[in-house]
Amino acid sequence: MDRGGISAFMMNYYRHIDRRKVQIDFVVHGFEKGVFDDEIHELGGEIYNVPVKSKDYFGNIRELRKIFKSGKYKIVHSHMDAMGAVVLREAKKSGIPIRIAHVHNTNHLTNNFLKYILNEVARKTIKNYATHLFACSESAGIWLYGKNAVKEGKVKIIKNAIEVEKYIFDLNKRNSLRKKFNLENNFVVGHIGRFDYQKNHIFLLHVFSQLVNKIPNAKLILVGDGPLREKIEREIEELGLKNSVILLGQRDDVNELLNMFD
């Protein structure tokens, strides 16, 4: 439960759901403490840490079966796109009556050929295990479940809701933040996203390098972190952008930082 998109999506709903009627427990891959763990516990939820599937597939399955066979759950809601097929298959075997597949993307998030093939197999079988089909958008639903499923109304579109009042522009915050980061006289471009393959930071940096040629005082703020951080830092160095790019890491004040971007 880091500050990535799916975790943030879940927390936005979890904070506002009627927890007297529905309580949500979380199964997470890996054993590191997440930034939302304490809040989840305060709101009455449990967190189950299971081995990462790619590192210990059988350990992952074994732990999932234990959770599903505990008899505590009527619903399993998977946020793993195509690979949710694995989770929902185990939920079905364990007799969980409601099994929700939820897609947040429009392609597999890997450029590894073997993983891509495994993901494709899962994509073609996920409807065998899911009782309900959710998607963040129509295009995501078409990709995972097919055009007919969307056309026939079998896919429920769940919007990525946010608390809009937190994102209202504030001139005072803009001025104080630009002063804090010494950006009062700069043209500021901002990007918020996990440092991962699908966010395409390398392309972003190449576009920004062209912008700097036209606007020399331009600055790029990168908010986020992830497995490609070193690669991104090397690219910044190679493009000669070290003095033009600011890496802020993971933040819990994104709604405020947006005020200072142009």
DSSP codes joined into one string, 178-194: HHHTT-TTSEEEEEE--
158 phi, psi to nearest 5 deg:
-110, 115
In this predicted model, what pLDDT tens digit does every residue of 209-245 receive, in sequence order? 999 999 999 999 999 998 999 999 999 999 999 999 9
Per CATH, the homologous superfamily of domain 170-260 is: Glycogen Phosphorylase B; (3.40.50.2000)
pTM reported for the whole predicted model = 0.78
- Say if domain 5-157 classifies as CATH 3.40.50.2000: yes
pLDDT over threshold 80, residue 111: no
Strand locations in 132-214 (E): 132-135, 155-157, 187-192
Q: Nearest to residue 27, comparing CAs of 80, 71, 74, 106?
A: 80
139 CB neighbour count, 10 Å cutoff:
12
Q: Which tens digits make up the pLDDT trace of 137-164? A: 999 999 999 999 999 999 999 988 888 8
Name the DSSP letter for residue 33. Answer: P
Of 180, 189, 182, residue with least CA distance to 223? 189
pLDDT digits (tens, 9 = 90+) for 170-217: 999 999 999 999 999 999 999 999 898 889 999 999 999 999 999 999
Q: Is 47 exposed, middle or buried (0-12, 13-18, 19+ CB in 10 A)?
A: middle
Boundaries of every domain in the chain: 5-157, 170-260
- The answer to whether the 5-157 and 170-260 domains have the same CATH topology is yes
Residue 167: partners with Cβ closer than 8 Å, 6 or more residues away = 255, 258
